[in-house]
A and B are shown apart, each in its own frame.
Chain A
Amino acid sequence: MDKLGINIPWLLAQLINVILILVLLRVLAYKPVLAMLDKRKKKIAESLEYADKVKADAAAQQKEFERKYEEQQREFNVRLQSSQQVAEQERQRIVADAHEEALKIKESARGELDYERNQMVAELRQQVIELSMLGAQRVIGANLDQQKSRQLVENFLNEVEFGGNGQKPALTKEGAGA
């Protein structure tokens, strides 16, 4: 043992050295470093968790936004369609109204035309009567009984269907025949 240099005092001294450095390392190294590593681990875990949360939040918001956007789009489409329908209906209504109006106008125009024609026919008839009476007076040279002769001419006119009661105009016999 002596040759090997092992002796009790040196062995004890080295044991004390080792135990001393063990204690010193525990205080100076392991405790603070492990605590710091632990702290950092926790911090990183927290940060990652937070990042995940933020990510999830963002994703949820994105989804929500997309959902809302789609909803709005759908609503917009519905509104567009309905307004298109309304516009179509309106158009049809307007066209129909216009048609009706046009028909009315046509109708009233025709009525007026008829009325004027009748008027004219009646006037013509009157003139024919007067002219024929005048002609007859000249031929006969005497005053005819106003009342009687008018009756006669009218009867004649009725016979040739030259009437004022809105029937087909037949000014002459040839015209009627045609």
Chain B
Amino acid sequence: MLKNPKVWVIVIAAIVMGALVKIFTPLSIEAVRASISFAPEQLFAPHIGGYVFSISNTMCTTWIAMLIIVILFFFGTRKMQLIPGGLQNVLEMLIEYLVGLAESVAGHRAMKFFAIASTIFILLLVSNLIALIPGFGPIGVIHLAEGEHAPQGITIIGDAPSIFETKHEPGQEGPILAPFVRAPATDLNLALALALISVVMTQVYGFQAQGARYLTRFFSFGRLLKGNIAFGLIDVFVGIVELISEIMKIVAFTFRLFGNIFAGEIVLLIMAYLFLVLPFPFYGLELFVAVIQAFVFAVLTLAFMTIASAEHEAGAEHH
């Protein structure tokens, strides 16, 4: 496929288009503070039945990604045919690739871990890629403080309905543009949710494969109680290290994903501020990072689950 010149033309065109839009994003909204914030921006917060539902832009993007996935797979697998064509073929290739990946990492346990790892991969892949679709960055909601005016140089499409709660507090340097679409992986909540599911399910599979013996990975007093003090203490220490490493896995998963995608967004923004054509190579890089991060998250999940299910193997963390 990579030898096909047509494919290269499309890829290069996509990169150029994306870079162009990213370039013009900050220029047109100079009056607005560039939105670099760890926390996702709140788009609106409808009051329903006495509760306030705060909806962030990353949440919206996650839903868009989910919708795209569901639509793709719904139409792709609606009328499955023995001789595949078009969308069915592409989706089958993807699933087959993921099955192969799971089998290469987890061996005979592959199909057990397949669903979670593949879901993580597909969700992250789609959500990372749609965040790179040009044109969404500059469209969003600006929350104005009392008596504040919308800055010049931006087009106001309409007033936000009064059910939206403004987040902006007076005294800040200016209104914040909250884009409608922000990469879901730049929301620590999503990254943490994925990490929690991955690590918790790893423990579940560990118990399933080894039963209560799985606990000896963390609490190993066998040799200490037999009187072997030196090695017993080492076992206890190793158990503590294992326990800490499980917790650190959550942190590592979360911040690896968040850091890579968030940094990518910022790099594109800063490069665009510095010089017009500078984001071009970085846009290609970010496409690469978007795929790689989805892949890494899925493969690490598979690897950890395999290690936890395997009988008494070294549980060293692989990065």
By a beta-carbon cutoff of 8 Å, the part of chain A in contact with chain B is 2-7, 9-11, 13-15, 17-22, 24-26, 28-30, 32-37, 39-40, 43
Contact = CB atoms under 8 A, between A and B. Distances in A.
B150 interface: no
Contact of B77 (A5, A7, A28): A28
B56 interface: yes
Q: What does DSSP make chain B's interface, helix, strand, loop or mixed?
A: helix
A37 B92 contact: yes
Given A29-B91, A29-B95, A37-B95, A18 B122 contact: no
Given A5-B38, A7-B189, A24-B70, A33 B95 contact: yes
A98 to B, nearest CB: 82
B39 A11 contact: no
B37 interface: yes
Interface string B72-100: 01100100101010000001100110010
Nearest to A24: B70
Interface residues of B, number: 39
B105 interface: no
Nearest to A2: B39
A43 B82 CA distance: 9
B116 A33 contact: no
A14 B193 contact: yes
30 contacts: A3-B39, A5-B40, A5-B187, A5-B188, A6-B188, A7-B189, A9-B54, A10-B40, A10-B187, A14-B62, A14-B190, A14-B192, A18-B123, A20-B66, A22-B115, A22-B116, A22-B119, A25-B115, A25-B119, A25-B122, A26-B115, A28-B77, A29-B95, A30-B95, A32-B77, A35-B80, A36-B84, A37-B95, A37-B96, A40-B82
Contacts of B114: 30
B95 A34 contact: yes
Nearest to A40: B82
Contacts of A18: 119, 123, 190, 193-194, 197
A5 B189 contact: yes
B39 A36 contact: no
A14 B96 contact: no
A10 B189 CA distance: 6
Nearest to B196: A15
A4 B92 CA distance: 38
Nearest to A18: B193
B316 interface: no
B38 A15 contact: no
Interface in B14-71: 37-40, 54, 56, 59, 62-63, 66, 69-70
Interface of B: 37-40, 54, 56, 59, 62-63, 66, 69-70, 73-74, 77, 80, 82, 84, 91-92, 95-96, 99, 114-116, 118-119, 122-123, 187-190, 192-194, 196-197
A43 B81 CA distance: 13
Given A6-B189, A36-B84, 13 more contacts: A10-B187, A11-B189, A14-B62, A18-B193, A22-B115, A22-B119, A25-B69, A25-B115, A28-B77, A29-B122, A34-B99, A37-B96, A39-B82
Contacts of A11: 189, 192-193
Contacts of B62: 14, 17
Nearest to A13: B59
Given A37-B92, A40-B82, A17 B63 contact: yes
Task: Report which residue of B82, B91, B95 has the largest number of chain A beta carbons within 10 angstroms of its beta carbon.
Answer: B95
A18 B257 CA distance: 15
B68 to A, nearest CB: 11
Nearest to A30: B115
Contacts of A24: 66, 69-70, 73
Task: Report which residue of B74, B99, B116, B188 has the largest number of chain A beta carbons within 10 angstroms of its beta carbon.
Answer: B188
Task: Report which residue of B91, B189, B197 has the largest number of chain A beta carbons within 10 angstroms of its beta carbon.
Answer: B189
A21 B188 contact: no
Given A6-B192, A28-B74, A33-B95, A14 B115 contact: no
Nearest to A8: B189
B73 A15 contact: no
Contacts of B54: 9-10
Contacts of A15: 193, 196-197
Contact of A14 (B39, B82, B189): B189
A21 to B, nearest CB: 5
A7 B192 CA distance: 11
